Every structure is written in structure tokens, then in C-alpha cells.
């Protein structure tokens, strides 16, 4: 099986590269990956041409502009990368009849209620979430696609890693009020590897268990016996874009489909790279 991974230098891309079996076609943009191909997702003709020439059986689109505040400021680029590029990936996928897995964020929701199900109506509160929602819409226009909604992916960066490193230096952690469903890049990659076998289509939430950022910080502090302190805040200094209060995802559907423990906090924290 030939599998194309876009964004192979990202956290999820790195873990997919180590977990997946078969012939892997890895692409990157700025951070080089050994044996990979440089591919600019904003060069749409090159993007389509690359996919059609490589003819992968499966495409996993992990490439994204994920800096929430940068997306708020650089809206045109966020739209091109997070939305318009997906349209062209879909166009090429149709030509070669590839199975497409597209990775999406919990930030497509407004955070008013939490534990969002696959069928709940998205309502993003920032441009990052809107651009990703538009990309999701393009992906779902293709019959042979699976949109994986996830939350707070971490590996060598992300909130849990920030907490660990800050507390280890005996400093204060700023914990944004609210809830989400963090998952390690490794467990998400393992879940995607299993999902490829089932060739599911539509939308599926694959994330960790719902937890507040304060409780998560306390868990990390206790688990690793760290110093420092934790302060709950309404916003983090320097933020530009609004964040949803509770963007946690209901993962009951994925629990029934997948055979692995992709969701428990202790299992996910095993794969922090610090």
C-alpha cells in the first residue's frame, strides 16, 4: 500500500511515519524530512500534479497552519493552507481514486457546551477554526474521505509539554480556563493506522478524555513530581484570537470502532517528548 503523508515533519506526521506500514511518501514544506519531498501546499498546480504522479492508495493530510493567532492575522494564508489546499487534494484524490483522511480540530466548535458529537453543528469563534471548517467541508465533498476531528495534539510541543517544562524549572504555569480532549501524536497515529484498515468515511472524533487545563497541569505536576505553580486564567497574555471555553469531543463512537486505548490520559502522557 502506498501512503502519502502531507506535513510529515509535524508532530502527527513524525509519528505516522514510524507507525504506518507500507510504502510511505512523505512531504514537508520548511522542516526537512529524511527521504521526503518538499511540497508547497499553496502551489496548487504542483500539489495536484505531485499527487497524481505518485498515485498513492491513501492520502493522510496532516499539513495545516495551526498557529491560532497567526491565522487570525494572516487570514489569506490560513485560508489557502487550511481550506483551499484541501480542495485541490480532493480534486487529485478523485482522479486517482485514493482514500483520503483529513485531520481537523475541535476549534470548529464555539465551546459553549463541550463533548461535541460528530453530528453537532460547528460554529468557530476564531479564523483558525473557520479555515479548518472550510477545509473539512471540501474533504467531505469527496465520497471516499474520512474527517478525523481531534484536540490538543502534543508530542515535543503542545500544552502538556509546556506545563512539564515550565514546572520543571519551578516557574508558574498559566492554565486557560476551560476544557478540551488532548491526545498524543503517537496515540492519534496508532488510531489512524487502524482506521485505514476499515476505510470508514464521514466524520469521526479521535481524541483524549475531556479534562480541564488546570486539572491536566495538576496531573502532570503530581505524576512527574514537579515544582512550580499553576494559575488559572481567563486568557493567556499575548493571545490575539478568542479560544472556545469547552471544545472537548465525544469519543464514544471511536471507542466502539477502535481496538486500542487512544484516549486515557495516563496512556497519552507516556508519549510526551520532553
The pLDDT value given to residue 238: 80
Tracing cell 453543528 back to the chain, one arrives at: 121
Residue 236 banded pLDDT, cuts 50, 70, 90 = confident
Q: For this structure, is 128 an active site residue?
A: yes
| Cell numbers that stand for 228 in this block | 512550580
Distances (CA, A) of 60 to 26, 98, 103, 182: 10, 10, 8, 20
Model confidence pLDDT, tens digit, residues 200-219? 999 999 999 999 999 999 99
Model confidence pLDDT, tens digit, residues 131-171? 999 999 999 999 999 999 999 999 999 999 999 999 999 99
Residue 274 banded pLDDT, cuts 50, 70, 90 = confident
d(CA 5, CA 16): 8
Torsion of CA 262, 263, 265, 268, to 10 degrees: 20
The contacts of residue 263 (CB under 8 Å, 6+ apart) are: 183, 187, 207, 208, 209, 251, 254, 255
pTM over 0.85: yes
Q: 3-class secondary structure for the chain?
A: CEEEEECCCCHHHHHHHHHCCCEEEEEECCCCCCCCEECCCCCHHHHHHHHHHHCCCEEEECCCCCCHHHHHHCHHHHHHHHHHHHHHHHHHHHHHCCEEEEEEEHHHCCCCCCCECCCCCCCCCCHHHHHHHHHHHHHHCCCCEEEEEECCEECCCCHHHHHHHHHHCCCEEEEECCEECCEEHHHHHHHHHHHHHHCCCEEEECCCCCEEHHHHHHHHHHHCCCCCEEEEECCCCCCCCCCCCECCECCHHHHHHCCCCCCCHHHHHCCCCC
The pLDDT value given to residue 237: 76
d(CA 138, CA 130): 13
d(CA 79, CA 130): 9
Given 128, 138, 142, 263, the catalytic residue = 128
* Angle between the N-to-C axes of helices 44-54 and 85-96, in degrees from 0 to 180, rounded to the nearest 10: 30
Name the least confident of 20-34, 42-56, 181-195, 225-239: 225-239
Q: Which of 264, 254, 120 is nearest to 182 (CA)?
A: 264
Amino acid at each position: 500500500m502506498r501512503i502519502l503523508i502531507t506535513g510529515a515533519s509535524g508532530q502527527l506526521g513524525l509519528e505516522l511515519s514510524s507507525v504506518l506500514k507500507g510504502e510511505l511518501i512523505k512531504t514537508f514544506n520548511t522542516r526537512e524530512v529524511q527521504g521526503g519531498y518538499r511540497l508547497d501546499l499553496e502551489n496548487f498546480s504542483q500539489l495536484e500534479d505531485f499527487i497524481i504522479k505518485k498515485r498513492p492508495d491513501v492520502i493522510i493530510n496532516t499539513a495545516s497552519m495551526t498557529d491560532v493567532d497567526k491565522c487570525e492575522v494572516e487570514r489569506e494564508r490560513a485560508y489557502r493552507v487550511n481550506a483551499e489546499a484541501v480542495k485541490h487534494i480532493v480534486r487529485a484524490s478523485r482522479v486517482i481514486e485514493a482514500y483520503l483522511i483529513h485531520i481537523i480540530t475541535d476549534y470548529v466548535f464555539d465551546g459553549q457546551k463541550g463533548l461535541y458529537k460528530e453530528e453537532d453543528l460547528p460554529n468557530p469563534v476564531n479564523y483558525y477554526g473557520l479555515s479548518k471548517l472550510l477545509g473539512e467541508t471540501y474533504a467531505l465533498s469527496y465520497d471516499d474521505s474520512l474527517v478525523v476531528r481531534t484536540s490538543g495534539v502534543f508530542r515535543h510541543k503542545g500544552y502538556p509539554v509546556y506545563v512539564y517544562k515550565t514546572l520543571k524549572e519551578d516557574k508558574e504555569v498559566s492554565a486557560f480556563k476551560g476544557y478540551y480532549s488532548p491526545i498524543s501524536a503517537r496515540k492519534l497515529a496508532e488510531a489512524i493506522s487502524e482506521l485505514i484498515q476499515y476505510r470508514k468515511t464521514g466524520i469521526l472524533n479521535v481524541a483524549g478524555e475531556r479534562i480541564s487545563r488546570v486539572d491536566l497541569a495538576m496531573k502532570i505536576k503530581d505524576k512527574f513530581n514537579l515544582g512550580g505553580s499553576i494559575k488559572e486564567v481567563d486568557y493567556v497574555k499575548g493571545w490575539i484570537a478568542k479560544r472556545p471555553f469547552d471544545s472537548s469531543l465525544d469519543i464514544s463512537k471511536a471507542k466502539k470502532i477502535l481496538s486500542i486505548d487512544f484516549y486515557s490520559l495516563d496512556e497519552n502522557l507516556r508519549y510526551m517528548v520532553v
